[in-house]
Structure formats: structure tokens, C-alpha cells
């Protein structure tokens, strides 16, 4: 009975996707991806992206994608419902630009706060600690393979063939004690205890050195929508997730 019910849910999800594909031009892509993020979270660790990593919300109005090249953060795509921006540099006090790829910690404890005004009004802030989280075991949280239990006879785990290597580990929302502990554990020269360690906060303004055309600017967001839809097609949905997906399909993903 469980198998039949699950198969019906999956079939219904496929029908919804097929219908939505016919009206893709009507999509509010930003709102659709935003609402799909929590119900397709497992896709974050199962899908290989090229040139950028999984998105995260900066606020209700803004979403960010780290852009990656040769295991280095090279910039951030930032989206709102109507605008797309790509920042690849930070502005120095003298007006010159430093590429984000060249940004290094000025000491082992530097936590950068990267600020921008994508739409000219609201200020958004990304936190970035170069090197944070890199080189961790594949058993650690951000690197571990995503999985989903398929409710079939002899339930099994569906996993990708290789772990995703995460370059940008988002410090937003983390308690500073967590970051201090990470710095302490990964430093060769450190104080007697982690309580004596202070993070060096530096505020930098994001800037754009290389302008991108509209197609390139919107590509990560549009690609993410396709990835999330493909994930739904290839995975069984539990009843609660299916209900939420149905609601999204009737609202933001119309």
C-alpha cells in the first residue's frame, strides 16, 4: 500500500512538472526557486553544479550563489525578483578593486563582511572567511553526501557517486563561538584557550570589475530551477513534501 501511494505521489509530481514546463515563460523564477529550496534541500548535496555552488537566501528579497573556479571563491551572483548582479571584487579605500579570488585573511581570524546594495536601496551582507571549512572530511556536515530514503521493499539510500566538494561555507547564522572553535582547531599558533581568541571583523564593499551579459547573469538561477525540478522527478516525495510542492506549484511556480 505504501509503495502504491508513493508511486501515485511521484506520478502526480511528474504531471505537475510536465504541465509547468509548458508555461515556463510565466514562471517567476526567483520566487519559484526560493520556495523550492527548503522542500528540495537534499538536492543541495546531490547535484553537481558547474562554476557555482548551491544558493542561499540573504533575506526574503535576495538570494546568493557563490561562483567558484579552481577551488576558489571568485564572486557572488545576487538575485532579487527583478534584478541579477554579479560581484567579483571588493573596493579598496583608494577606489581600486581587489578580486575576490585574491582575498585572503590578513590574520588567521579574519571574518569579512561583504556589503552591497543590489537594487540601490536595501543593503545586503555576506559573510566570508577564506579557507573556512575547506579540507574537511567528507563526513562533515556541509560535505556529506545528500541522501533520500526510497520507500520500497528493502529500503535503500540513493546517493551520488562522489561527494560534492564545497568551497564556500556560509558563516551566516553561525554563532561566533563556532567560528572561533574552527579557527582554534585549525591554527598552529593560537592562544591558550579558545575563549582568548578574537575574530577580526572587516567590512568590505562588493564591486564589479567584469560586466556580464543578461544571459550569463541569469544562468545560475535558471539552471537551479531545472536542477530542482529534475531532483523532484527522480525522487519519491513523502506526503507532506508533496503537499508543499503542490502549493508552490499553484502559487510562485505558476
Taking residues 189-217, report their average pLDDT: 90
Q: What does the pLDDT look like over 73-125, one tens digit per residue?
A: 999 999 999 899 999 999 998 999 999 999 877 666 788 999 999 988 789 99
Q: What is the DSSP string of 194-253?
A: GGG---EEEEEEEE-SS---HHHHHHHHHHHHHHHHHHHHHS---HHHHHHHHHHHHTTT
Return the beta strands (E) in 6-160 as ranges.
Answer: 56-57, 63-69, 72-79, 84-87, 89-91, 97-99, 110-116, 124-128, 148-150, 156-158
Domain containing 212 equals: 2-250
**Residue 136 pLDDT grade (very low, low, confident, very high; cuts 50, 70, 90):** low
Mean residue pLDDT across the chain: 78
Residue 1 has pLDDT above 50, yes or no: no
To the question of pTM greater than 0.85 for the whole model, the response is no
36 contact partners, CB below 8 Å, separation of at least 6:
225, 228, 245, 248, 253
Cell numbers at 68, concatenated: 567558484
Of 54, 94, 75, nearest in space to 209 by CA: 75
Could you tell me which residue, 5 or 99, shows the higher pLDDT? Answer: 99
Q: How far is 26 from 252, CA to CA, in rounded Å?
A: 10
Weakest mean pLDDT among 110-119, 137-146, 232-241: 137-146
Say how many domains are in the chain. 1
Amino acid at each position: 500500500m505504501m509503495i502504491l501511494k508513493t508511486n501515485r505521489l511521484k506520478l502526480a509530481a511528474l504531471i505537475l512538472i510536465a504541465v509547468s514546463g509548458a508555461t515556463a515563460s510565466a514562471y517567476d523564477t526567483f520566487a519559484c526557486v526560493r520556495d523550492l529550496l527548503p522542500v528540495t534541500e537534499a538536492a543541495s548535496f546531490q547535484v553537481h553544479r558547474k562554476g557555482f555552488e548551491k544558493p542561499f537566501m540573504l533575506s526574503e528579497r535576495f538570494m546568493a550563489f557563490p561562483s567558484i573556479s579552481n577551488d576558489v571563491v571568485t564572486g557572488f551572483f545576487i538575485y532579487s525578483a527583478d534584478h541579477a548582479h554579479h560581484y567579483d571584487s571588493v573596493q579598496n579605500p583608494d577606489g581600486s578593486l581587489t578580486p575576490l579570488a585574491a582575498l585572503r585573511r590578513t590574520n588567521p581570524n579574519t571574518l569579512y563582511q561583504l556589503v552591497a546594495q543590489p537594487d540601490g536601496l536595501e543593503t545586503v551582507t555576506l559573510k566570508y572567511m577564506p579557507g573556512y571549512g575547506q579540507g574537511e572530511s567528507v563526513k562533515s556536515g556541509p560535505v556529506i553526501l545528500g541522501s533520500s530514503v526510497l520507500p520500497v521493499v528493502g529500503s535503500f539510500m540513493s546517493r551520488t557517486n562522489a561527494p560534492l566538494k564545497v568551497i564556500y561555507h556560509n558563516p551566516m547564522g553561525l554563532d561566533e563561538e563556532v567560528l572561533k572553535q574552527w579557527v582554534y582547531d585549525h591554527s598552529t599558533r593560537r592562544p591558550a584557550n579558545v575563549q582568548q581568541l578574537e575574530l577580526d571583523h572587516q567590512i568590505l564593499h562588493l564591486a564589479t570589475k567584469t560586466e556580464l551579459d543578461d544571459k550569463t547573469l541569469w544562468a545560475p538561477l535558471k539552471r537551479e530551477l531545472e536542477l530542482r525540478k529534475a531532483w523532484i522527478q527522480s525522487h519519491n516525495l513523502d506526503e507532506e513534501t508533496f503537499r508543499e510542492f503542490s502549493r508552490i506549484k499553484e502559487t510562485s511556480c505558476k
